[in-house]
Amino acid sequence: MKKISLYLTLLLFLSSCLQQEIKIVLNSDGSGEYHIKKEMGTELSNIVGMFPEQLRKDAQNKKSKVEQLPGGVILKVDKAYKDPNDPAKFIEEQVYTFTNLGEALPVLENLVEMGPRYKYENGKFIVFRNREVDQWTQFSDDDRMKDAYFNLTIELPQKPESKNGVVNGNTVSWKFDSDFLKKYKKMEIGQNIIEATIAETSIKTDIRPRLVVESDKKEDTEYKPLHSFSSYIPIVGKKYSNSGDATLAVFFDVDDIDIPFSYKDLKIIKMLIDGKQISPEMKSDDSGFFDGNNNWSDKLKGFPLVLKFPAVNPWIKNIDILEATLNIGKVLKSKETTYSINNVTTPILISNDKSFYKVALTELNLKTSLLASPSIELISNYEPNMLKSFFIDTDYGLRYKNHILRQDAYEENKIYNKDKIQFIKNTFTDQNTYVYKIGFSKIPKPPFTFVIELIEKQSYKPVTLTLENISVSN
């Protein structure tokens, strides 16, 4: 089974390669099909060819079952086979069907790289693709684009019009070679490469923003409370403000608590080391929102807590007990508040300036790198325990949910240039304000709609979290 799983993992890895032909069929009632055919490059085909024939057959049998996906999407065909024109190469092929394009969009988003977008505008149903910010990838341009190609054919309910596609009857097609795809990565954000239109009355589907389906991630079910621990011996003759301090990061088991949850009043009430009571300084936020993920959307092993304390004994091997209390909120009622983001200019007030609760956009980063996700920075007098979720809604039927949430009370001397400080002073007079750094897997070029889910009503209950005999030895 492990070998079969390895083979399937390899095929999943290959699915990110841009050597593919896509045929899309869209019917007048909103139903349709995605036919995806991906070619494995020579080197990767050689790797697959090294797998024993029986292993490939067993893996193929495992993949051949019809699979029901969210949004009414059905995976009807999923196979890998030798290229009949070149037996040394392998082809991966899938066929997906769906009953409603709008409902299927959150799943289709993850099927095809550079796949088309859809929207209604000015009496037209528009198929398009603009240059977007790519997520960071381990491939360099040369490795990724050397043998790349992307061929797209779309069959529509009526003859389309297109400025950059080849129209033949009710179909329109585009062919992009490796040279074009290299240029694509350097195009201006928002530049169009795919465009076709038909009358909006010729196809009926509801393209309102729906949450993009996140890919499944294998979870480590083994519970490990310790995340990190460090301490050191103060150096004689040197001056350090934190000499002898140790830092500890742990996870508390919260399997019996409904996640996500908001919390407040987080405190450390007991910490024993070698039988002695220690008074630690808590470095984590004392209030906020916990959805079970870290800054990179990876599942955490529990509720995280970071603290610092005097390390009298730098050779600590075991912490006897660590106990924390907090009030965990259960949301009883919430509502969504929307804000239109029309350009990248910051800082700018995006809420009603007459409202008591104000929201200002102070930074909009569309770029993605190895160390940073696209992000939005907000200044607001909404307190952390009043906010549940953040979303970005596009005009092409997709909703992206935040996967990073960092909040800090605003400090004038900590960040920002003079213009930002003056803007914040003028906007938030005599009010406590908070800085929210919110990350997304994608942020489209404005215009888009930014959505904050506000907690209108919730009840809090006190909870005690305890860890005993935490081993900190390496």
The answer for 183, left when phi > 0, alpha when psi is -120 to 50, beta otherwise, is alpha
pLDDT at 46: 53
Q: Is the pLDDT of residue 72 over 70?
A: yes
Percentage, residues of the chain above pLDDT 70:
80
Query: In this predicted model, which residue has the larger pLDDT, 96 or 179?
Result: 96
Residue 338 or residue 139, greater confidence: 338
394 or 52, which is more confident: 394
187 and 134 Cβ atoms separated by less than 8 Å: no
C-alpha span between 80 and 62 (Å, rounded): 12
d(Cα 145, Cα 166) in Å, to the nearest integer? 24
Of 96-100, 122-126, 135-139, 339-343, the poorest mean pLDDT is in 135-139
Residue 41: its pLDDT value, please?
58
Interior/surface letters 118-154, b for 16+ CB within 10 angstroms, e for the rest: bebeeebbbbbbbbbeeeeeeeeeeebbeebbbebbb
- Using the predicted structure, report yes or no on whether residue 80 has a pLDDT greater than 60: yes
pTM to 2 decimal places: 0.79
Under the banding of pLDDT at 50, 70 and 90, the label for residue 333 is very high
Sign of the C-alpha dihedral computed for residues 338, 341, 347 and 353 taken in this order: negative
What pLDDT is stored for residue 136 in this prediction?
52
Where is pLDDT greater, at 404 or 448?
Answer: 448
Q: At what angle do helices 2-14 and 42-49 cross, to 10 degrees?
A: 170
What span, in angstroms and rounded, lies between the C-alpha atoms of 153 and 196?
11
| Position 242 pLDDT exceeds 50 | no
Q: State the pLDDT at residue 224.
A: 82
What pLDDT is stored for residue 440 in this prediction?
87
Average pLDDT, rounded, for the chain:
83
Axis-axis angle for helices 2-14, 53-63 (nearest 10)? 70
The confidence score (pLDDT) of residue 139 equals 46
**pLDDT band of 388, cuts 50, 70, 90:** confident
Question: Alpha-carbon distance 386 to 383, whole Å?
Answer: 5
CA atoms within 13 A on the CB side of 39: 17
Residues 404/295, Cβ–Cβ less than 8 Å: yes
What tens digit of pLDDT does each residue of 163-219 get? 999 999 999 999 999 888 888 878 888 899 999 999 999 999 999 999 998 765 555
Check residue 7 and give its pLDDT. 45
Question: Which SS3 state, helix, strand or coil, does residue 362 take?
Answer: strand
Query: So what's the pLDDT on residue 466?
Result: 96
pLDDT, position 331: 87
Quick one: pLDDT at residue 184? 84
Query: Which pLDDT score is estimated for 10?
Result: 46
Query: What percent of the chain has a predicted confidence (pLDDT) above 90?
Result: 43
